[in-house]
Amino acid sequence: MGVEEAVRLAALREAVAGRLSNREAIRRTGLSRRQWLRLKQRYKEQGAKGLVHGNRGRPSKRRIDEATRARIVELLDQEVVLNDCHMRDLLQDEGIVVSAETIRRIRRSLGRAPKQRRRPDRHRHRREREAQMGSMVQTDGSPFQWLGKEQPPLTLVGMIDDATGGVLSLTFRPHEDLHGYVLALRQLILRYGVPCTLYGDRSSILVRNDSNWTIEEELAGKQAPTHFGAMLKELGVRYIGALSPQAKGRIERLWRTLQDRLAAELAMAGCRTPEQAEAFLPRFIKRFNLRFAHDARESGGAWLARPKNLDRILACRYMRKVTLDNTVTFFGERIAIPPGPGARSYARRSVEVRELLDGRILVLEGTKVVAERAAPAGTFILDTHRGEGERKRRNIVGRATPPKPPKITRAPKSTAHPQGPRHPWKRSFKTIPQRRPGGVEGVP
Q: In this predicted model, what pLDDT tens digit does every residue of 331-367 receive, in sequence order?
A: 888 999 999 888 889 999 999 999 999 999 999 998 8
Cα angle 388, 394, 400 (rounded to 5 degrees) comes to 35
Residue range 231-241: average pLDDT? Answer: 94
Residue range 120-149: average pLDDT? Answer: 87
Is residue 247 scored above 70 in pLDDT?
A: yes
Residue range 3-27: average pLDDT? Answer: 83
Phi, psi dihedrals of residue 127, rounded to the nearest 5°: -80, 130
Is residue 35 scored above 60 in pLDDT?
A: yes
Amino acid 186: pLDDT: 96
Is residue 30 scored above 70 in pLDDT?
A: yes
Amino acid 189: pLDDT: 96
Amino acid 443: pLDDT: 45
Amino acid 38: pLDDT: 87
* Spatial separation of the C-alpha atoms in residues 324 and 328, rounded to whole Å: 10
* Spatial separation of the C-alpha atoms in residues 14 and 12, rounded to whole Å: 5
Phi, psi dihedrals of residue 180, rounded to the nearest 5°: -65, -45
Amino acid 58: pLDDT: 75
Amino acid 211: pLDDT: 85
Amino acid 1: pLDDT: 60
* Spatial separation of the C-alpha atoms in residues 364 and 24, rounded to whole Å: 99
Is residue 417 scored above 80 in pLDDT?
A: no
Is residue 24 scored above 90 in pLDDT?
A: no
* Spatial separation of the C-alpha atoms in residues 339 and 237, rounded to whole Å: 36
Check: CB of residue 423 under 8 Å from CB of residue 367: no
Q: For residues 193-217, b (16+ Cβ closer than 10 Å) or e, as one string?
A: bbbbbbbbbebebbbbeeeebbeeb
Q: In this predicted model, what pLDDT tens digit does every residue of 258-296 receive, in sequence order?
A: 998 999 999 999 999 999 999 999 999 999 999 899 999
Which of 17-21, 187-191, 227-231, 307-311 is predicted least confidently?
17-21
* Spatial separation of the C-alpha atoms in residues 337 and 363, rounded to whole Å: 8
Check: CB of residue 83 under 8 Å from CB of residue 115: yes
Tell me the pLDDT band of 25, cut-offs 50, 70 and 90.
confident
Q: For residues 29-49, b (16+ Cβ closer than 10 Å) or e, as one string?
A: bebeeeebeebbeebeeeeee
Q: Of the spans 9-13, 335-339, 399-403, 408-412, which averages the highest pLDDT?
A: 335-339
Check: CB of residue 207 under 8 Å from CB of residue 229: yes
DSSP codes of every residue in 40-60: HHHHHHHGGGGGS-TTTTSPP
Domain 136-292, what fold?
Nucleotidyltransferase; domain 5 (3.30.420)
Amino acid 444: pLDDT: 44
The DSSP call for residue 332 is T
Q: For residues 350-365, b (16+ Cβ closer than 10 Å) or e, as one string?
A: ebbbbbbbebbbbbbb
Helices (H) and strands (E) in the chain, counts: 12, 11
- For the chain, the C-alpha Rg in angstroms (whole number) is 41
Q: In this predicted model, what pLDDT tens digit does every residue of 143-169 receive, in sequence order?
A: 999 998 889 999 999 999 999 999 999
Residue range 197-209: average pLDDT? Answer: 92
Start-to-end Cα distance in the chain: 116
Tell me the pLDDT band of 441, cut-offs 50, 70 and 90.
very low
| Residues ≥6 apart with Cβ < 8 Å to 142 | 155, 156, 158, 255, 258, 259
Amino acid 65: pLDDT: 86
Residue range 24-29: average pLDDT? Answer: 85
Residue-range domain boundaries for the chain: 3-51, 66-109, 136-292, 310-373
Check: CB of residue 198 under 8 Å from CB of residue 236: no
Amino acid 325: pLDDT: 92
Q: In this predicted model, what pLDDT tens digit does every residue of 41-97 receive, in sequence order?
A: 888 888 877 777 777 777 777 788 889 999 999 989 888 788 898 889 889 989 999
Check: CB of residue 321 under 8 Å from CB of residue 152: no
Ramachandran bin of 342, using left for φ above 0, alpha for ψ from -120 to 50, beta for the remaining angles = left
* Spatial separation of the C-alpha atoms in residues 353 and 338, rounded to whole Å: 15
* Spatial separation of the C-alpha atoms in residues 363 and 352, rounded to whole Å: 6
Cα angle 126, 130, 135 (rounded to 5 degrees) comes to 140
Is residue 393 scored above 60 in pLDDT?
A: no
* Spatial separation of the C-alpha atoms in residues 389 and 75, rounded to whole Å: 66
Is residue 408 scored above 50 in pLDDT?
A: yes
